[in-house]
């Protein structure tokens, strides 16, 4: 699915957010302008807001933000719209983000079983690994977007990827190495080591062999091999 937006900003005097034209009457655009945010309205297929930044390698990174009022969030669970929207966020943006807007008790808005809502919240956080932030109203949402945009404008610092902790065992070292690969968490790292026995054999495995491990599909296998085989450009 293509997204209609322009990769045009390199040097702007103030942070910029691309906003879907359907947000024109939400009040958010006016609030962003008050906070010295440059706003560009476009017809977006995926996400309601797009924020761009650059990583340490000077490559463009995009934050795609889906905003849902509480009632719309419940409706999207019922009609299953939320599933496609989450997938599109993951597929099209470096950093996907879901904002749920409203100050009511989300479990009492409609006669909808609370466990269905909890299940979706758990799925968003665990299965899709998409951060969720709750805001009170459109002003709060605009303030959050402003903070994100301005934070991304700050110079990036190279930080250590290693956690400071007590000495690791050999098994923990092996698992930690594999957990640094894209889409690989503790469970998948253990599964890889159980199948291939050594980190070396995991690294040497081809895409088809990696896909034999549960929860590793074609896309994830491709990303893993890219990290392993692509030349370092630092």
Residue 147 CA to residue 164 CA, distance in Å, equals 29
**Cβ–Cβ under 8 Å, residues 144 and 135:** yes
**Cβ–Cβ under 8 Å, residues 66 and 89:** yes
Tell me, yes or no, whether 177 and 217 share the same domain. Answer: yes
CATH of the domain at 215: 1.10.150.20
Least Cα distance to 146 among 94, 99, 89, 91 occurs for: 99
* Residue 12 confidence (pLDDT): 45
Mind giving me the DSSP string for the chain? Answer: ---------SS-SS-EEEEEGGGTTSSHHHHHHHTT-EEEEE--SS-SEEEEEE-TTS-EEEEEEEEEEHHHHHHHHHTTHHHHHHHHHHHH-SEEEEEEE--S-TTSSSS--HHHHHHHHHIIIIIS---EEEESSHHHHHHHHHHHHHHHHSPP-----SPP-SPPPHHHHHHHHHHTSTT--HHHHHHHHHHHSSHHHHHH--HHHHTTSTT--HHHHHHHHHHHHSPP--
* Residue 7 confidence (pLDDT): 45
| 196 within a domain of the structure (yes/no) | yes
pLDDT (tens, 9 = 90+) of the chain, 234 residues, equals: 444 544 444 444 578 899 999 999 999 999 999 999 999 999 999 999 999 877 666 677 799 999 999 999 999 999 999 999 999 999 999 899 999 999 999 999 888 899 999 999 999 999 999 999 999 999 999 999 999 988 887 766 655 555 556 777 999 999 999 999 999 999 999 999 999 999 999 999 999 999 999 999 999 999 999 999 999 887
* Residue 107 confidence (pLDDT): 92
| 4 within a domain of the structure (yes/no) | no
List the domain range (segments joined by +) for residue 85.
16-153
**Cβ–Cβ under 8 Å, residues 15 and 153:** yes
Q: Within a 13 Å sphere around the CA of 30, how many CA atoms are in the beta-carbon half?
A: 6
Least Cα distance to 89 among 146, 39, 50 occurs for: 50
* Count of domains for the chain: 2
* Residue 153 confidence (pLDDT): 74
CATH of the domain at 70: 3.40.50.10130
* Residue 53 confidence (pLDDT): 75
Tell me, yes or no, whether 146 and 185 share the same domain. Answer: no
Tell me, yes or no, whether 63 and 131 share the same domain. Answer: yes
Residue 183 CA to residue 4 CA, distance in Å, equals 27
Residue 43 CA to residue 61 CA, distance in Å, equals 20
Which of 108, 127, 153 is the last residue in one of the domains? 153
Q: Which two structure tokens, joined as six digits, stand for 156?
A: 């990036």
| 70 within a domain of the structure (yes/no) | yes
Which pTM does this prediction carry?
0.61
């Amino acid at each position: 699915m293509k997204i209609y937006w322009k990769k045009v900003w390199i040097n702007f005097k103030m942070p910029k957010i691309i906003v879907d034209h359907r947000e024109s009457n939400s009040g958010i655009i006016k609030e962003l302008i008050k906070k010295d945010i440059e706003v560009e309205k476009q017809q977006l297929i995926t996400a309601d807001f797009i924020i761009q930044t650059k990583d340490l390698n000077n490559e463009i990174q995009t934050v795609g933000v889906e905003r849902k009022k509480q009632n719309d969030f419940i409706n999207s669970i019922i009609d299953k719209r939320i599933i496609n929207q989450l997938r599109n966020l993951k597929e099209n943006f470096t950093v996907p983000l879901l904002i749920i807007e409203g100050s009511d008790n989300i479990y009492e808005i409609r006669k909808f079983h609370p466990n269905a809502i909890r299940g979706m919240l758990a799925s968003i956080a665990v299965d899709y690994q998409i951060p969720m932030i709750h805001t009170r109203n459109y002003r709060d949402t605009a303030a959050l977007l402003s903070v994100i945009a301005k934070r991304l404008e700050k110079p990036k610092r190279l930080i250590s990827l290693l956690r400071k902790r007590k000495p690791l065992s050999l098994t923990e070292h092996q698992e930690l190495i594999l957990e640094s690969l894209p889409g690989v968490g503790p469970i998948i790292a253990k599964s890889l080591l159980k199948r291939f026995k050594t980190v070396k054999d995991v690294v040497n495995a081809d895409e088809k062999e990696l896909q034999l491990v549960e929860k590793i599909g074609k896309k994830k296998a491709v990303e893993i091999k890219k990290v392993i085989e692509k030349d370092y450009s630092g």
